[in-house]
């Protein structure tokens, strides 16, 4: 068993994939000798050379379109988008080409590629280095979307991602790259796509969440436990496909559901989770389905006080959970 940060898990998972399969390569802005802006690929160029660790121009459209061409020719690229906010120039290639290639070719072409995106706020990055983009990509059939938030989940899900024959958007919350540590087994394991995980058992209400909000939700659950409120915390981990069975199961168990996510409130992942509960577990509800999310403003403010106002946190989650528990 090894103890590592989320960032180390990303680094080691990529390293393993590169060592195990000569078809795997990494491409992106500054991923070479510099090791990426977060140092996720530090030391890779020295081991694998510039043919497999490719520093690209500042052109996300080209990064993804080139990766698509590589997959069609038998390679399995890992394409890093330096910040998820910068993925929008490549949106056309991700959504209109990568996600649809298998469908439009009647499975004659597969696109085994992983598009890594550091995402999320709370780092003082302002509007263009703090966005949560999961709802855009989770909406698109043909894409897997993964958002693991612990070293164990990152390692297990990345192993799955690099083996899938369809494109994967792999979201890595940048604020918890170094802030979160956890154990990773030395023996090999994988976590399949579409499987959520109960990170904390409880009886009074369920918090359904993912990403950095998992850790804020766990903090809130600890606070509420001292007040006699037993909270179950379900980590979605996989956003496309969603583990609807796990969502329904935890809701049936506790009768109350609070959905927590960092993106803007309206039309986020929470809306789909809410609809799933309303359709499949309505008769088990003992209160309204509630959400804690960011306000509907265009971006995460740069000002620290305004950033704190924008970001969901353990205190806001606990307050909402108290209201729901008392309903």
C-alpha–C-alpha distance, residues 276 and 295, integer Å: 23
Q: How many CA atoms lie within 13 A of 172 on its CB side?
A: 31
End-to-end CA distance of the chain: 43
C-alpha–C-alpha distance, residues 47 and 44, integer Å: 5
Residues 6+ apart with CB under 8 A from 276: 242, 244, 247, 248
Angle, to 10 degrees, between the axis of helix 269-280 and the axis of helix 244-254? 60
R_g of the chain computed on alpha carbons: 20
Q: Which position has the token pair 């890779």?
A: 44
The reply to whether 139 belongs to the active site is no
Which one is catalytic: 129, 139, 173, 215? 129
Q: Are strands 181-184 and 168-173 parallel, antiparallel or unpaired?
A: unpaired
C-alpha–C-alpha distance, residues 203 and 255, integer Å: 9
User: What tokens does 21 get?
Assistant: 């399969």
Instruction: Cite the active site residues.
Output: 129
């Amino acid at each position: 068993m090894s103890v590592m940060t989320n960032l180390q898990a990303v680094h080691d998972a990529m390293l393993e994939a590169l060592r195990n399969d000569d078809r795997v390569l990494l491409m992106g802005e500054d991923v070479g000798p510099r090791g990426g802006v977060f140092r996720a690929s530090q030391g890779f160029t020295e081991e694998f050379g510039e043919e497999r660790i490719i520093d690209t121009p500042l052109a996300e459209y080209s990064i993804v379109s080139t990766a698509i061409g590589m997959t069609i020719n038998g390679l399995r690229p890992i394409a890093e988008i330096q910040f998820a906010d910068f993925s929008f120039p490549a949106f056309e290639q991700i959504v209109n080409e990568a996600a649809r290639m298998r469908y439009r070719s009647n499975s004659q072409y597969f696109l085994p590629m992983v598009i890594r995106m550091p995402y999320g706020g709370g780092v003082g990055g302002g509007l263009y280095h703090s966005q949560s983009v999961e709802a855009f990509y989770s909406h698109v059939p043909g894409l897997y979307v993964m958002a693991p938030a612990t070293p164990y989940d990152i390692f297990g899900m990345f192993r799955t991602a690099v083996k899938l024959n369809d494109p994967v958007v792999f979201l890595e919350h940048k604020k918890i790259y170094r802030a979160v540590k956890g154990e990773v087994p030395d023996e090999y394991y994988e976590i399949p796509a579409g499987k959520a995980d109960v990170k904390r058992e409880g009886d009074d209400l369920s918090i359904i969440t993912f990403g950095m909000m998992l850790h804020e939700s766990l903090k809130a659950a600890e606070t509420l436990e001292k007040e006699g409120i037993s909270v179950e915390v379900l980590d979605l981990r996989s956003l496309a496909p969603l583990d609807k069975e796990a969502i329904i199961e935890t809701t049936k168990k506790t009768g109350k559901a609070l959905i927590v996510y960092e993106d803007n409130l309206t039309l986020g992942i929470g809306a789909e989770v809410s609809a799933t509960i309303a359709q499949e577990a309505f008769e088990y509800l003992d209160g309204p389905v509630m959400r804690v999310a960011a306000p509907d403003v265009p971006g995460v403010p740069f000002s620290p006080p305004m950033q704190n106002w924008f970001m969901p946190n353990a205190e806001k989650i606990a307050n909402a959970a108290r209201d729901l528990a008392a309903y």
